[in-house]
Amino acid sequence: MAEAELTPGASGVTASTSDGNEAANVVDGDLATRWSGEGDGAWLQLDLGATHTVDEVRLAVHRGDTRRNVFELQYWSGSGWVTVYDGESGGGTTGFESFAFEPVQTSRIRYLGHGYEGGGEGDWNSLTEVEIWNDRGDDGGGGGDAELPSEVLDLSDWKVTLPIGDDEDPTEIFQPELDGYAHDPYFTVADSGDAVRFRAPVNGVTTGGSSYPRSELREMEPGGGDETEWSSTSGTHTMTVREAFTHLPEDKPEVVGAQIHGGDDDVTTVRLEGEELWLTDPDTSNHHLLDDAYELGTVFEIRYVVSGGEIEIYYNGRLETTLEHRDSTNYFKAGAYTQANCGNSSPCGSSNYGEVEIHDVTVTHDDGDRPAEGTEAAERYGWGDPLPISDEFDYTGPVDPERWAVPSGDFGGTEGCWEGHAGNGRRCAENSRVANGIMTMTGEADGDTGWLRQELDTRYGRWEIRSRSRNTGGSGGTYHPLHLIWPTEGNRLENGEYDWVEYSDPDAGCVTSFMHYPESPTDEKERADLCPVDMTEWHNFAFEWTPDTLVGYVDGEEWFRYADGANEDRGDIQDVPSGHLNIQLDNFTGESGLRPAVFEVDWVRVYD
């Protein structure tokens, strides 16, 4: 079979940053144009529009005959970024170089840059062209030899309901029987060998609460023995499904492929009606249109993220809509829920059916509890009990004014807002709120963001913060999350500054620190980078400042350590006179064109 190029057009290419040489230049077919983005961790992302098999990326490097770009190639797995190449370009050509890897099923590819070497070295990341390929010419995933659905999908925490059995009492298969179960044609491995087929005919048996048949998974407690329920206002609950609709019933060609269900009814579903793919909400079956010309067999990815009384729904990686929903009886479902029966669809028989093939389904529940033992520096190194200034965020509303200062001006005519970082947008008190045990700092598309300063000025101490971040919008300039110690008297050139957690994209795969020396008019500093670290996941970041040294930790492991270093251009690195903790989501872009994001903090703990 012939190889297939999957490179998207200009609208499918985004980047975390650029210097005016825009991301779309890498797909314009012109080696004289380029994308350039500065910084370790700057990224370029290509959205393929649907899930495809990818096994090769071809890159043309700017000044590639003298520079060796240092980078990773990553694909989106449905729940996170996975690296398939980590290395350098060859340094011998400005033309295309091929980087092949084992085939993956994905809807997005990302170039994660770490600067360049050769011809000098620097932290610029520059590409003139990028191409995405399926070199085998097989875009169906390559098949497989699975014989049971459990060999394709992890069914440990599910049951399946089938369109067979007694009237209003359909057959249900639970664990552990489910692991060895298949039913042809209603619940079996698809012909491709890499998906599970769910089929429900219009004359199938229905549950007592529905007039429509289903072949569908229902989420269960761990181990699959009991039905589960969770609250949309407590913790974070995520389901990612990669699936394709493959057949529709006659007369009423409608099938649901995935859903969140409440105690009595569905909350939101992914529903195909003819060629129109819709997201529903409780009030309407046509809430948000995803695709007005869906072709049967097209694999796509749907992702639900439920937290804080809201449901964020992503389609092929892009946030499509957010629904408000507050309930404690929720659970996930996925499969084929045919929206037709013998009363509205003919013929009334097993040859008339709805069908969905699921390639992957994953569910996670993060209740915000403390991490596993040993991943906190304070616990591992015996820092003792947290000081009263610490904050577990076990309340609701604004941050505690006894612990935190927030912006207090009226910049832009809004009370509680200051001018933003370097004059970009605004920092506003309202953009830092506490709910469900988490402080959420929100960066908006218009450049408004949050800022917090801990009400403790000190020389020396230990801080540990459990945090994560993520982009919530599809495009635009990215916010910069930071944990830092800012000098009490300001002026870092005189007094120094400790940026112990900093990164240039809420979805970053690396974390950086910048330790600025005091008494340094030229702003000399030490930089440390740690990769890979998925910053969209919870991690514990700790910083220790003593009279002798500065030490950083990630999940209890030492990351960097600095001491002394004074010379004619700077003082000793640990000699900042005094400072306070800041938590910031900085706007480096301007007053518009920002990619919305959130910076979430589970707790902040301070120690002597």
For residue 249, pLDDT over 90 is answered with yes
Q: What is the pLDDT of residue 372?
A: 45
Instruction: Mention every residue, 6+ apart, whose C-beta is less than 8 A from residue 114.
Output: 40, 41, 70, 71, 72, 123, 125, 510, 529, 531
Percent of the chain with pLDDT over 90: 72
Confidence of residue 58 (pLDDT cuts 50, 70, 90): very high
Q: Which residue has the tokens 């919305």?
A: 596
pLDDT higher than 60, residue 524 = yes
- Percent over 70 (pLDDT), the chain: 96
Shared domain for 594 and 465, answered yes or no, is yes
Say yes or no: 156 and 287 in one domain: yes
Contacts of 190 (CB under 8 A, 6+ apart): 196, 197, 357
- Residues in Cβ contact with 567 at an 8 Å cutoff, skipping those fewer than 6 apart: none
Compare 265 and 287 and report the one with higher pLDDT: 287
Q: Is residue 416 part of a domain?
A: yes
In a domain, 40, yes or no: yes
Domain hosting residue 423, numbered range: 377-607
pLDDT above 60: residue 76? yes
- pLDDT value at residue 285: 86
**The predicted structure's pLDDT at residue 145:** 67
Same domain assignment for residues 44 and 100: yes
CB neighbours of residue 402 within 10 Å:
9
Lowest mean pLDDT among 180-184, 411-415, 572-576: 411-415
> What token pair was written down for 246?
């493959």
| 372 located within any domain | no
Residue 49 CA to chain centroid, in angstroms?
Answer: 17
Distance (Å, rounded) from C-alpha 170 to C-alpha 178?
A: 15
Q: Of 344, 366, 388, at which residue does a domain stop?
A: 366
Let me know: does 448 contact 439? Beta carbons within 8 Å.
no
Distance CA(576)–CA(525), nearest Å, equals 13
Query: Residue 494, SS3?
Result: helix
> String of b and e for 71-80 (b: at least 16 CB within 10 Å)?
bbbbbbbbbe
What is the rounded distance in angstroms from the CA atom of residue 600 to the CA atom of residue 608? 25
Confidence of residue 138 (pLDDT cuts 50, 70, 90): low
Backbone φ and ψ for 495, nearest 5 degrees, come out as -110, -10
| Segment among 46-50, 341-345, 578-582 with least mean pLDDT | 46-50
> Which of 126-135, 361-370, 549-558 is predicted least confidently?
361-370
476 and 354 assigned to the same domain: no
Using CA atoms, how far apart are residues 466 and 249, in angstroms rounded to an integer? Answer: 49
Q: What DSSP designation does 377 have? A: H
Structure tokens at 540: 């514990």
Tell me, what's the pLDDT at 140?
45
Which region among 115-119, 161-165, 266-270, 342-346 has the lowest average model confidence (pLDDT)?
115-119
Q: Are 271 and 253 a contacting pair, CB within 8 Å?
A: no
Same domain, residue pair 444 and 574: yes
> What pLDDT was estimated at residue 369?
47
Amino acid 587: pLDDT: 93
Q: Across the beta sheet with 448-449, what order do the strands follow? A: 417-419, 426-428, 448-449
Task: Count other Cβ atoms within 10 Å, centred on residue 148.
Answer: 16
Whole-angstrom CA distances from 438 to 78, 366, 538 are 24, 12, 12
Confidence (pLDDT) at 344: 97
Give the chain's end-to-end CA distance (angstroms, integer): 66
Evaluate whether residue 219 is within a structural domain.
yes
Contacts of 347 (CB under 8 A, 6+ apart): 250
Q: How many domains does the chain have?
A: 3
Domain end marker among 66, 99, 134: 134
Pairing of strands 96-117, 43-61: antiparallel
Q: For residue 236, name the pLDDT band (cuts at 50, 70, 90).
A: confident
- pLDDT band of residue 78 (cuts 50, 70, 90) is low
Nearest to 417, CA basis, from 231, 108, 426: 426
589 falls within a domain: yes
Same domain, 423 and 532: yes
Q: What is the CATH number of the domain that holds 153?
A: 2.60.120.200
Which range among 20-29, 233-242, 254-263 shows the weakest confidence by mean pLDDT?
Answer: 233-242
| Amino acid letter for position 452 | L
For the entire predicted model, the pTM comes to: 0.51
Select the more confidently predicted residue: 337 or 119: 337
Average predicted confidence (pLDDT) for the chain: 91
Buried b (16+ CB within 10 A) or exposed e, 498-520: bbbbbbbbbbbbbbbbbbbbbbb
The first and second tokens of residue 489, run together, are: 């008297």
Q: In this structure, are 161 and 252 located in the same domain?
A: yes
Residue 182 and residue 111 share a domain: no
Question: Can you read off the two tokens belonging to residue 169?
Answer: 């009492």
Mean pLDDT over residues 231-257, rounded?
Answer: 92
Using CB atoms within 10 A of its CB, is residue 582 exposed (0-12), middle (13-18) or buried (19+)?
middle
Residues 342 and 423 both lie in one domain: no
Cα–Cα distance, 526 to 573 (Å, whole number)? 9
- DSSP state at residue 434: E
Q: What is the mean pLDDT of the segment spanning 343-348? A: 97
Mean pLDDT of 33-47: 93
For the record, the structure tokens of 575 come out as 């000699």
Give the end of a domain, one of 341, 366, 391.
Answer: 366
- Split at pLDDT 50, 70, 90, the class of 400 is very high
38 token code pair: 């500065």
Residues 194 and 329 in one domain: yes
| Residue 481 within any structural domain of the chain | yes
> Residue 360 pairs with which residues in a beta bridge?
242
* C-beta of residue 349 within 8 angstroms of C-beta of residue 363: no
- Amino acid 268 reads T
Q: Read off the amino acid at residue 36.
A: S
Confidence band (pLDDT; 50, 70, 90) for 300?
confident
- Residues 323, 382, single domain; the answer is no
Give the angle 504-509-512 at the CA atoms, nearest 5°. Answer: 55
Alpha-carbon Rg for the chain, nearest whole angstrom, is 26
Confidence label for 2 from pLDDT (cuts 50, 70 and 90): low
> Is 139 domain-assigned?
no
Whole-number pLDDT of residue 371: 45
pLDDT score of 142 more than 60: no
Quick check: 49 pLDDT over 50? yes
Question: Does 330 reside within a domain?
Answer: yes
**Range of lowest pLDDT (222-236, 275-289, 485-499, 518-532):** 222-236
Shared domain for 540 and 398, answered yes or no, is yes
Please check whether residue 598 is in contact with residue 472, taking contact to mean a CB–CB distance below 8 angstroms.
yes
Task: Report d(CA 162, CA 291) in Å as an integer.
Answer: 28
Among the residue ranges 36-45, 98-107, 362-371, 555-564, the one predicted with the least confidence is: 362-371
The CATH number of residue 97's host domain is: 2.60.120.260
E strands present in 386-502: 397-398, 404-405, 417-419, 426-428, 432-435, 438-443, 448-449, 451-454, 461-471, 480-487, 497-502
- Mean pLDDT along residues 419-445: 92
Q: Contact at 8 Å (CB) between 244 and 255?
A: no
DSSP 148: S
Q: What is the mean pLDDT of residues 26-47?
A: 93
Which residues make beta-bridge pairs with 319? 314
pLDDT by residue (tens digit) across 170-225? 999 999 999 999 999 999 999 888 899 999 999 999 998 899 999 999 999 988 88
Q: How far apart are CA 407 and CA 425, in angstroms?
A: 13
Residue 469 scores a pLDDT above 90: yes
